[in-house]
Amino acid sequence: MTMEKEVKFSLVFRDMWQSAGKYQPRVDQLVKVAPAIIKMGCFDRVETNGGGFEQVNLLYGENPNKSVRAWTKPFHEAGIQTHMLDRALNGLRMSPCPKDLRKLFYKVKKAQGTDITRIFCGLNDPRNVIPSIQYAKEAGMIAQAALCITHSPIHTVEYYVNLAKKFIDAGADEICLKDMAGIGRPVSLGKIVAGIKAYKKDIVIQYHSHAGPGFNMASILEVCEAGCDYVDTGMSPLSWGTGHADIIAVQEMLKDAGFKVKEINMAAYMEVRTQIQEMCDDFLGYYIPDLNHINNSLLVKPGLPGGMMGSLMTDLEDNLKSLNKWKVKNGQPELTTDELLIKLFDEVAYVWPKVGYPCLVTPFSQYVKNLALMNVIQMEKGKERWSMIADTIWDMILGKAGQLPGPVDPEIVALAKKEGKVFETNDPQSYFPDDLEDYKKKMQEKGWELGEDDEELFEYSMHPGQYEAYKSGKAKADFEADLAKRKAEKNAPKGAEGPKTVTVQVNGQNYKVEIAYGNDVPAATAQGAAPAAVPAGEGEDIVAPLEGKFYLVKDNSETPKKVGDSVQAGDTLGYIEAMKTFNAIRADKAGVITAILVASGDSVEEDDPIMKMA
């Protein structure tokens, strides 16, 4: 290492929250904390948005476009670059985007004030990443192409260096080593950086890692010794655990190693730390499980990413309640959180090689984890492994999302053949035709503004279901109801139940929310927030196969089922969105829909009746 080589720091403020829990701060909180982050004096970059940021804003009724513009502004004025996370073919969501939406994405984000986009594909498929590099550059953004780091027989040093060369040759301005699970081995990571710098000495390299498994301080030192330029860091009280190494420890380590690093204004650090704690006390802490504050080397085996562990532990509470409810009903002993977690980790390690070693990062981390969790739940109930595979997971397995790094196990190939599914080799973009004009027409019909720089059109096209729930007020009502339930549960005296009802106010209107405890917890939906249910008809109940949110369609290309529709066996009736995946509900036999018992966006529990068919 050349003495006095400078290493610069980025604060991954968005990812700190996503890796700890389920939500992001409100815009008023973001704007308030920005000056103190700037005053810290040690950051050349701040991660402001991307990934789940837009979706969670919509979820609690805040316009993400206004949030991004307000949040990036103070950093620009201070000369600090802002960067965001983007999912290449998937844009900002879990499912692939049409080409016209991908192109609009970068124009909107540049106009809103985001400087750098970190483009990644969990399959590391250049066909998904390279178009995004080009679209980002055309829009005037800095295109940072990411190598999704994992540890497998396929993911070697040579594999990653060759991948970086392809991205550099395609015009990438920078390279990121995205060690999203923190399981990259330190020496190998150093060799990857050295290999990239040997190919293009002046290419900017940024390293991103999570602290959970325990490797990342050693990894940071190794990549910096090999020539890394920027390091992503977190800060207390959201550092370590499933989050990132703390800026204080990283800065002190690199200073001792002879690197040139900026000093930290500790008074400002404590000011930011205090504000983060206030955000947790306000509402965000209700969605941060205690286990996410702890480092855990058990994560080395399943390789689940920090960004997913934030929501996983929160979602797992509901999965465990649902499973234990079934076990009690069937006279079986209940599982503890730890027992379910170990079963899940073991199943992820079993499933991952069989589905071709996709890097465990959004959306593929969710796909593999969901597949593993469905297997665990089904097997706990005495059913077969692989008995519930969502359509989007099949798309990954079949190659519609990109080329898997490794071969698919013969057992899965046989299952695909049995179900009449075909493996694909075409460019993934070819399966998702342009549809911006359709969304523009829908917005005009509804009287909705397209927004400054078409940003509202972008938001609706990127997140149609969530945007409609945001516009109607239902998203905010559901969120306020869930938060009220969590607060009531947490604040109830020990050994006593909390209140049976609470009242939440949304846009000046009061909603009465019922609360129950233990195994009888109902879906937390604000009364009056959803349209009235269709009156029950004749016939048999169609029940929810798992706990989650019910939707009639998953995107604009589908026509929702309605009462009176005839359906054939195998037809899709609707979807349960659980753990960021849409799981199809299919008809077991032919018939006619006589009633739809829940509204799109309603929370349902496993075995809740959702339709009737005769």
Closest Cα partner for 361 from 97, 51, 112, 611?
Answer: 51
Residue 20 falls inside a structural domain: yes
Alpha carbon distance 146, 163 (integer Å): 10
| pLDDT more than 90, % of the chain | 58
322 or 168: which leads in pLDDT: 168
Which is nearest to 144 in space by CA: 78, 96, 208, 225?
208
- Mean pLDDT over 582-606 rounds to 86
Q: Is the pLDDT of residue 308 over 70?
A: no
Of 263, 286, 309, which residue is a domain's last? 286
Residue 401 inside a domain? The answer is no
Neighbours of 328 (CB within 10 A): 13
Q: Is the pLDDT reported for residue 296 higher than 80? A: no
* Paired tokens of 125: 């498929």
pLDDT at 60: 81
Q: Could you report the per-residue pLDDT of 155-180, keeping only the tens digit for each?
A: 999 999 999 999 999 999 999 999 99
CATH number at residue 566: 2.40.50.100
User: How much is the average pLDDT of 279-294?
Assistant: 86
Q: What are the two backbone dihedrals, phi and then psi, of residue 521, each rounded to the nearest 5 degrees?
A: -60, 125
pLDDT recorded at residue 506: 54
> What is the share, in percent, of the chain residues with pLDDT greater than 70?
89
Residue 352 lies in a domain: no
Q: 512 pLDDT exceeds 60? A: no
Q: What is the pLDDT of residues 542-574, one digit of tens each?
A: 888 777 888 888 776 678 888 888 898 888 899
State the CB neighbour count (10 A cutoff) for residue 441.
Answer: 10
Q: What pLDDT was estimated at residue 185?
A: 96
Predicted local confidence at residue 9, as pLDDT: 98
Q: What pLDDT does 523 receive?
A: 41
pLDDT in tens, 15-63: 999 888 888 999 999 999 999 999 999 999 999 999 778 877 887 888 9
Q: Which two tokens stand for residue 113?
A: 């004030």
453-472: buried (b, 16+ CB within 10 Å) or exposed (e) per residue? bbbbbbbbbbbbbbbbbbbe
Does 81 score more than 50 pLDDT? Answer: yes
Q: How confident is the model at residue 535 (pLDDT cuts 50, 70, 90)?
A: very low
| Domain final residue pick, 286, 313, 331 | 286
Asked, for residue 248, whether it belongs to a domain, the answer is yes
State the average pLDDT over residues 96-113: 97
pLDDT, residue 532, reads 37
Q: For position 531, what pLDDT does the model report? A: 36
120 close to 136: Cβ distance less than 8 angstroms: no
pLDDT score, position 500: 56
Report the pLDDT averaged over residues 187-209. 98
Tell me which residue of 94, 59, 56 sits closest to 401, measured CA to CA: 94
- The pLDDT assigned to 4 comes to 82
Distance between CA atoms of residues 30 and 19, nearest Å = 17
Mean pLDDT calculated for residue range 406-427: 94
Per DSSP, 297 falls in state G
E-strand ranges in 507-590 read 509-514, 540-543, 548-551, 566-567, 572-578, 581-586
Which amino acid belongs to residue 207? Y
Contact 234, 244 (CB under 8 A): yes
Of 286, 320, 335, the domain-final residue: 286
Looking at the 3D structure of the chain, how many domains does it have?
A: 2
Q: Output the CA torsion 222→226→229→235 (10° steps).
A: 0
Amino acid code (one letter) for 532: A
Domain assignment present for 56: yes
DSSP letter string, 330-384: TT-PPPPHHHHHHHHHHHHHHHHHHBT---SSTTHHHHHHHHHHHHHHHHHTT--
Tell me if residue 429 falls in helix, strand or coil.
helix
Task: Using DSSP bridges, classify how beta strands 116-119 and 142-148 pair: parallel, antiparallel or unpaired.
Answer: parallel
Mean of the pLDDT values across residues 92-117?
96
User: Range of 550's domain?
Assistant: 540-613
Domain of 237, CATH number, reads 3.20.20.70
Confidence of residue 524 (pLDDT cuts 50, 70, 90): very low
Instruction: Flag whether 84 is in a domain.
Output: yes
How far, in Å, are 23, 103, 128, 442 from residue 470 at the CA level?
15, 24, 30, 16
Q: Name the least confident of 141-155, 179-193, 268-282, 310-324.
A: 310-324
What's the CA gap between 604 and 596, in Å, rounded?
Answer: 13
* Residue 245 included in any domain: yes
In a domain, 526, yes or no: no
